[in-house]
Structure 1
Amino acid sequence: MTNLFRPLQLRGVTLPNRIAVSPMCQYSSQDGLPNDWHLVHLGGLAQGGAGLVFTEAAAVLPEGRISPEDLGLWNMAQAEGLAHSVHFIKAQGAVPGIQLAHAGRKASAFAPWKGSGSVPPAAGGWTPVAPSALPFDAGWTVPTALDEAGILAVIEAFMDAARKALAAGFQVIEVHAAHGYLLHQFLSPLSNQRTDAYGGSFENRTRLVREIVGALRNILPEELPLLVRISATDWVDGGWDLDQSVALALELKALGVDLVDCSSGGLSPLQKIALGPGYQVPFAARIRTEAGLPTGAVGLITEPEQAEQILAEGAADLVLLARQLLREPRWPLRAAQALGVEVPWPAQYARAAKGSVPLRQPRV
């Protein structure tokens, strides 16, 4: 048995392997509702053999959507729609997970193929909120700084969304505190210039994340895991960095978080990212070692042997794939063949398992 295809136990949930579908926005919802696209997209990835299948980021409030076309989880109609995908994912032997999010000052943005920057109110956009009234970039809408009541409303929205996620049948919940969205905006001194209990010191800047995590851990049944995605660094001098990420991970561990999903960047257009295969793996490795907490590695992980090595070296406990799975939804089946592991195929496709899985499908 390879490391990649060893089960991973997170509390009372067993992932059948160490391959996870990273949350990927589809920009295909209306009023935050899932539809046939989401069922086919998520269901196909579950058929492909991933052990953990995350939805895209689900906004906990309408104004927390990255774009007007984003998925949401602020009402029961959305939860009921997602339950269909949850049922199908489970039927394929995978574990369904959902990422709860609030986009903060990066909300009300155009879907990538529709433009860039903020969607104006006349075109269906809105004025976003943030820790401080600082826009993401020139030409973006200036956000409204959250007051105490607004912060409490955000915490309550995460709690309410978590309850709805449980009602829909999700077995893993991840809090999105990365990529320059609201919780990351509170963490970074580049976007958080508050002078109250939620700004200034490390303790204050991490307060909102800790309060949300603590609230969700109290809501979730003991047997269900809670994950947090962070940007381990802003890639900007004077911003959030790896040292602070390690310190935060220690706090999250004490609050009952079961795994830190280690990404990076997204907060500032001034970021200078050192891209390369597995470029974020060292973040996962250091947090895993120094915080003593399981980690997930994500970012330019494309080959089975690469994923296997990450786990074999103890750099992470889970690998999350995104664009590679868009190119190749059955990557886990190819990985199994490449590593010499027999894994179950959907019964309807079993006759194809006897043949060869293409070692690489055309890139799109």
Structure 2
Amino acid sequence: MIVRISATDWVPDGNTEHDAVEIARAFIAHGANAIDVSSGQVTKDERPAFGRSYQTPFADRIRHEVAATTGAAVIAVGAIASYDDVNSLLLAGRADLCAVGRTHLYDPHWTLHAAAEQEYQGPGATWPVQFRAGSRKPPAARTDAVRPRLSLLRPDPADQAVHLRWTPTREPAPVS
């Protein structure tokens, strides 16, 4: 069972990160397998301290003070928008999992794109058949050595006005 908690209410006299540790401890003691650590969204008076991965310190604290001794997983959320953020949080031991909600709303294939950019091919990164053509990161610039497939102008300077892809089916009528 996964339980989502609000680590702080971001208001005076509301829940704090100290309370969150005890709330997480109680849920884990009663059978929760993972704690999804969010914050706020409980009152219109809240003043959150938004920023990149801004809720991660709460997950980090719960992971080290509670989950480390119980085996429960901790999920970090909140403005985690890049695979670099995810990798950094996981490798630093700040969380066991990361949830990237708004990122997936913006790009439903975010996980697949992150896998492609890191050249990962394995479980969890299987492209649906109809999207496999997009499974490789497209070239971003000429430095990616993409060769032109056609030349837009004929090599003879006299024919510069004729587009290469235009092939008349019969001789054009003479211009008078």
Partner deviation per Cα, 1:251-309 (whole Å, 9 max, x = no partner): 11111101110110112222111100100001111001111231111111111101110
2:131 corresponds in structure 1 to 349
1:275-314 correspondence runs (5 A): 275-292=50-67, 293-314=72-93
2:99 corresponds in structure 1 to 320
Q: Distance in 1 between matches of 2:32 and 2:131?
A: 37
Of structures 1 and 2, the one scoring higher in RCO (CA 8 A, sep 6+) is: 1
- Code of the residue aligned with 1:311 in structure 2: it is L
1:248 corresponds in structure 2 to 23
Q: Which of 234, 239, 249 is the aligned partner of 2:9?
A: 234
Whether 1:329 aligns to 2:111 is no
1:202-221 correspondence runs (5 A): none
| Other structure's SS at 2:44 match | coil
Q: Distance in 2 between matches of 1:314 and 1:339?
A: 20
Deviation at 1:350, TM superposition (A): 2.3
- Code of the residue aligned with 2:120 in structure 1: it is V
Q: Distance in 1 between matches of 2:133 and 2:50?
A: 40
| Other structure's SS at 2:99 match | strand
Q: Distance in 1 between matches of 2:55 and 2:97?
A: 13
- Greater per-residue strand proportion: 1
Partner deviation per Cα, 1:12-59 (whole Å, 9 max, x = no partner): xxxxxxxxxxxxxxxxxxxxxxxxxxxxxxxxxxxxxxxxxxxxxxxx
Seen in structure 2, the aligned counterparts of structure 1 residues 330 and 358 have a Cα distance that, compared at 3 Å, is farther
Question: Which sections of structure 2, spanning at least 5 residues, go unmatched?
Answer: 141-176
Seen in structure 2, the aligned counterparts of structure 1 residues 357 and 253 have a Cα distance that, compared at 3 Å, is farther
Q: Distance in 2 between matches of 1:327 and 1:278?
A: 17
Partner deviation per Cα, 1:68-106 (whole Å, 9 max, x = no partner): xxxxxxxxxxxxxxxxxxxxxxxxxxxxxxxxxxxxxxx
1:78-93 correspondence runs (5 A): none
From the CA coordinates, give the structure whose radius of gyration is larger.
Answer: 2
2:159 corresponds in structure 1 to none
Q: Distance in 2 between matches of 1:251 and 1:341?
A: 38
Seen in structure 2, the aligned counterparts of structure 1 residues 311 and 358 have a Cα distance that, compared at 3 Å, is farther
Q: Distance in 2 between matches of 1:256 and 1:356?
A: 43
Are the counterparts in 2 of residues 284 and 296 from structure 1 also a CA contact under 8 Å? yes
Whether 1:258 aligns to 2:33 is yes
Deviation at 1:322, TM superposition (A): 1.6
Question: Which sections of structure 1, spanning at least 5 residues, go unmatched?
Answer: 1-225, 360-364
1:1-364 correspondence runs (5 A): 226-292=1-67, 293-342=72-121, 343-353=125-135, 355-356=136-137
Seen in structure 2, the aligned counterparts of structure 1 residues 357 and 314 have a Cα distance that, compared at 3 Å, is farther
Are the counterparts in 2 of residues 334 and 357 from structure 1 also a CA contact under 8 Å? no
Identity %: 37
Q: Distance in 1 between matches of 2:100 and 2:93?
A: 18
Q: Distance in 2 between matches of 1:328 and 1:322?
A: 10
- Code of the residue aligned with 1:268 in structure 2: it is T
- Code of the residue aligned with 1:324 in structure 2: it is T
Seen in structure 2, the aligned counterparts of structure 1 residues 357 and 344 have a Cα distance that, compared at 3 Å, is farther
Deviation at 1:357, TM superposition (A): 5.5
CA RMSD in angstroms, aligned pairs only? 1.7
**TM-score scaled by length of structure 2:** 0.70
- Code of the residue aligned with 1:348 in structure 2: it is Q
Q: Distance in 2 between matches of 1:351 and 1:326?
A: 22
Are the counterparts in 2 of residues 295 and 317 from structure 1 also a CA contact under 8 Å? yes
- Code of the residue aligned with 1:309 in structure 2: it is S
| Other structure's SS at 1:315 match | coil
**TM-score scaled by length of structure 1:** 0.35
- Code of the residue aligned with 1:323 in structure 2: it is R
- Code of the residue aligned with 1:294 in structure 2: it is A
Partner deviation per Cα, 1:152-208 (whole Å, 9 max, x = no partner): xxxxxxxxxxxxxxxxxxxxxxxxxxxxxxxxxxxxxxxxxxxxxxxxxxxxxxxxx
